[in-house]
Structure 1
């Protein structure tokens, strides 16, 4: 398989990078593997974890070693860390290839490599502010924020900035500043206040570009119940992100020209309709999920969304043969699992697809496997 971009051709089979005139460009093996990974992922962000897994097989590797290979890849393409016109650093996340890519098998006509998955919603969790009896609050506040980083990371679908990056900005940084420095779409901040035996935790979820608060809440209790309160806050914040971020993303997508939308935007539009449980909305969801897949054929969540659509047809009989719809639900769920076996949504729709076919043991197993 060959990938063409700019004045270059990357021959994956021969492990070579060539100029358009056929002249070879020397690359060390790890640099070639990195460039190949970035090119094949297209406009999707290639995370640091993915790089370590694919190139170093999860062996311990320093950030400096990764940065060195990125510099070499940029240099080979005539790019650099200042302009980042070809390989862009997405701070706290990874790297994204910026050029359009075409691909062709040996002897075949080149076809556009349609990978416009876009960037997954990203969030930075700031250390919570401490008020009242600040010695205790000063311990609880950063610990709670760290717990939220871990819990949000387990959702898999949202990109969470590492603590080392977000905590550097402090607890009072405004959302727009965080957006500029960390290139994120959402900011989670908040406060911890202790007055005598009483504890109050107030998390706030904001859109980073505008500073608009899209969700906030307050949790009150006794300091002796700190672990129970921490669990309540963590569960509520994760649930709020699951609900309010897709809703906000869908609202943003509706304000843009449809030609400019990426796969994630179409996915959130589909998700916004799927939970209305009407035949018309189910059909709209299918349309949006298919638009997402037209831009990113391996987008697991869009396949999972189509499985959800078919499940609803099978469950409610929305103008479809229920047996066919049940089989379609399972097929789409299996495709989602092929792309993202650790994604909770993919596991969820797979379990429901087995359930609708009365395969209860396999359905239960899928539910247990959900991270």
Structure 2
């Protein structure tokens, strides 16, 4: 019977198999399995223990003072198919698998090859942080360098659903990086991107280029996974499928009542299947807190306590995940536990300084504790480092509300209208637009924006406007309500 293991345990298994001919030190393992992260050795011990429970206590040998070595025999090819009943149980990956192939170098210059390998490694490290996706290790994906194999063949050999490949070429003084996301089984190209840099800048800006690739690749990858899930029968959905359905409900329907309710329902299903799924608990806590704060759910002590419990439970389950801490910390802040929430958000950013959601949540919390200017700048930074984030419409609306509070109405109006463009279904962005236009002395335009908000959300009330934008705005827009 296939057995599900977590993403980190699977990465550790790949690492040990790739280096099974020698003892591999703990530092090497940490660098490979947790690329770019600072983690405690006990995280490694937990994953080793999980694999030993799966494969047997003697599967992984601990060499005192040196590291680990994979101790089981490994069969390959036809040898593996013979006497399969004697092999250890097969390992199924808990998550959607991706392989990043070595970038094709279309230049004879060693510097360009160095850049290409560095970019592929950076993309692997960044993708490894995206929840719900499992990255095949570099040691496995780079064995295809120089071999004439098709993407479906790679999919068959590595057991992956998606493949990322790219090329680096030199054109005059410009380095051109092309990347594409491919559905591995069919070879169908789902997304392509191109990034140009001046030759002298390319190597120095390697990490920035990789983050630029990721800012476009991650939303497309999530969209492709959601489309895949929707082609499945409902009874076949697993923990991560429900999680991605939650993301998709808001991405496809906006931040309305129905979408938020569906997302919370999908997250409840995910944690019902796996009560130890920390990210599901954290995201559920955040969406529940947000739903109360924007009037989608009634403000109730029982709901607030449920969200608080989910946030704290998530932290207890997985306090080494930046995503878990980012969502849970934001939920705590939204529930009024600002000191604890800010502490958790700082922990999230210590693990992953590129966590845009944690930056934005920290900025919003700073605003709500009286540090208006610092909070606004923190929010702007978080939005800037994730320029294609599916949450930008919501974040821009929140930023616009704070800018209006700071009497920066022109900037607030720009954020409100940008939010409307990013998510035309988000009624609160139209409410904000109406509030700003009213304050600027344009009652007719304000009335039109308010009417659009009411059209987008037929159940919108003045009490909800006061809850989300302040009593002063609610009182002003009440004068336009009947017009």
TM-score (norm 1): 0.70
Question: Deviation of residue 308 (structure 1)?
Answer: 2.8
- Indicate whether 1:52 and 2:48 are aligned: yes
- Indicate whether 1:62 and 2:69 are aligned: yes
Which one of the candidate residues 180, 199, 207 is aligned to 2:175? 199
CA deviation string 1:202-255 (max 9, x = no partner)? 121222122222222111111111145423332133334432222222211111
8 Å CA contact retained: 2:293, 2:299: no
Mapped to 1, the partners of 2:279 and 2:119 lie a distance apart of: 29
Which one of the candidate residues 306, 330, 348 is aligned to 2:308? 330
Which position in structure 1 is the counterpart of 2:103? 128
CA deviation string 1:279-311 (max 9, x = no partner)? 101111122122222322222222223113202
| Structure 1: gaps spanning 5 or more residues | 1-5, 7-37, 72-78, 89-94, 97-117
Question: Deviation of residue 130 (structure 1)?
Answer: 0.9
1:367–1:178 CA distance, 2 compared to 1 (3 A): same
Larger Rg: 2
CA deviation string 1:53-81 (max 9, x = no partner)? 55578971113x1x35x99xxxxxxx987
Which position in structure 2 is the counterpart of 1:310? 288
8 Å CA contact retained: 2:284, 2:310: yes
Question: Deviation of residue 362 (structure 1)?
Answer: 2.2
Mapped to 2, the partners of 1:81 and 1:306 lie a distance apart of: 46
8 Å CA contact retained: 1:326, 1:356: no
Which position in structure 2 is the counterpart of 1:100? none
Question: Deviation of residue 328 (structure 1)?
Answer: 2.6
8 Å CA contact retained: 2:115, 2:206: no
- Indicate whether 1:266 and 2:251 are aligned: no
Question: Deviation of residue 193 (structure 1)?
Answer: 0.7
TM-score (norm 2): 0.55
Which position in structure 2 is the counterpart of 1:138? 113
Which position in structure 2 is the counterpart of 1:167? 142
Which secondary structure state, in structure 1, belongs to the residue aligned with residue 169 of structure 2? Answer: strand
Structure ranking higher in helix proportion: 2
Which position in structure 1 is the counterpart of 2:264? 286
Mapped to 2, the partners of 1:217 and 1:204 lie a distance apart of: 6
User: Which segment drifts farther, 318-327 or 248-257?
Assistant: 318-327
1:321–1:58 CA distance, 2 compared to 1 (3 A): farther
1:177–1:327 CA distance, 2 compared to 1 (3 A): same
Question: Deviation of residue 364 (structure 1)?
Answer: 2.1
8 Å CA contact retained: 1:314, 1:323: no
Which position in structure 1 is the counterpart of 2:94? 119
- Indicate whether 1:231 and 2:212 are aligned: no
Question: Deviation of residue 314 (structure 1)?
Answer: 2.1
1:224–1:184 CA distance, 2 compared to 1 (3 A): same
Which secondary structure state, in structure 1, belongs to the residue aligned with residue 290 of structure 2? Answer: helix
Mapped to 1, the partners of 2:299 and 2:220 lie a distance apart of: 34
Question: Deviation of residue 324 (structure 1)?
Answer: 4.0
Question: Deviation of residue 135 (structure 1)?
Answer: 3.3
1:365–1:258 CA distance, 2 compared to 1 (3 A): same
Which position in structure 1 is the counterpart of 2:160? 184
Structure ranking higher in strand proportion: 1
4+ residue segments displaced more than 6 Å: 56-59
Which secondary structure state, in structure 2, belongs to the residue aligned with residue 62 of structure 1? Answer: strand
Which secondary structure state, in structure 2, belongs to the residue aligned with residue 317 of structure 1? Answer: coil
CA deviation string 1:49-107 (max 9, x = no partner)? 654255578971113x1x35x99xxxxxxx9873588711xxxxxx34xxxxxxxxxxx
Which position in structure 2 is the counterpart of 1:212? 188
- Indicate whether 1:362 and 2:351 are aligned: no
